[in-house]
């Protein structure tokens, strides 16, 4: 799933090179299993609730909606890759490695985005009955 999200213009081998390079870089920085770091990063970023726009009587309301685990993981991976693409660094390999490490530690742009989504859901809790 991660490979297919990284891939652009059908270049799957390049996507694999990016992932393997990021995993090597994580291993050299932390001296731990990089798959554990990847799992921990995705687990910390995965949201339980998102807000969806619904039109009710002519006005648009942000309605909090619970999402499943598969959809939450897909959203977390999308957010991780989006944040690593926005990062200013020498290559996508280093950007992805740094973003995964930050997310696993509980900091970074992705964690901030997740907290922002939770704040939006909490602020619009009054509209939860419009599901």
DSSP letters along 59-126, please? Answer: EEEEEEEE--HHHHHHHHHHHHHHHHHHS-SS-HHHHHHHHHHHHHHT-SHHHHHHHHHHHHHHHTGG
* Domain encompassing residue 102: 2-130
What was the pLDDT predicted at 74? Answer: 95
**What's the pTM value of the predicted model, to 2 decimals?**
0.90
How many domains would you assign to the chain? 1
What was the pLDDT predicted at 23? Answer: 96
Contact assessment for residue 83 and residue 99, using Cβ atoms and an 8 Å cutoff: yes
- Over its C-alpha atoms, the chain yields an Rg (Å, rounded) of 17
pLDDT tens, position by position, 54-98: 888 888 888 999 999 999 999 999 999 999 999 998 999 999 999
State the Cα–Cα distance between residues 66 and 125, nearest whole angstrom.
12
CATH of the domain at 59: 1.10.455.10
**Torsion over CA of 100, 106, 107 and 111, rounded to 10 degrees?**
80
What was the pLDDT predicted at 125? Answer: 86
């Amino acid at each position: 799933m991660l490979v297919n999200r990284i891939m652009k213009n059908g270049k799957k081998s390049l996507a694999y090179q990016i992932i393997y390079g990021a995993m090597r870089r994580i291993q050299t920085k932390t001296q731990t299993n990089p798959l554990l770091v990847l799992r921990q990063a995705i687990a910390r970023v995965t949201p339980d609730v998102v807000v969806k726009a619904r039109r009710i009587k002519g006005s648009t309301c942000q309605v909090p909606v619970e999402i499943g685990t598969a959809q939450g993981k897909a959203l977390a991976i999308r957010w991780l890759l989006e944040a690593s693409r926005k990062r200013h660094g020498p290559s996508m390999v280093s950007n992805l490695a740094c973003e995964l490490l930050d997310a696993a530690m509980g900091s970074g742009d992705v964690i901030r985005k997740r907290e922002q989504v939770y704040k939006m859901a909490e602020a619009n809790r009054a509209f939860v009955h419009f599901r």
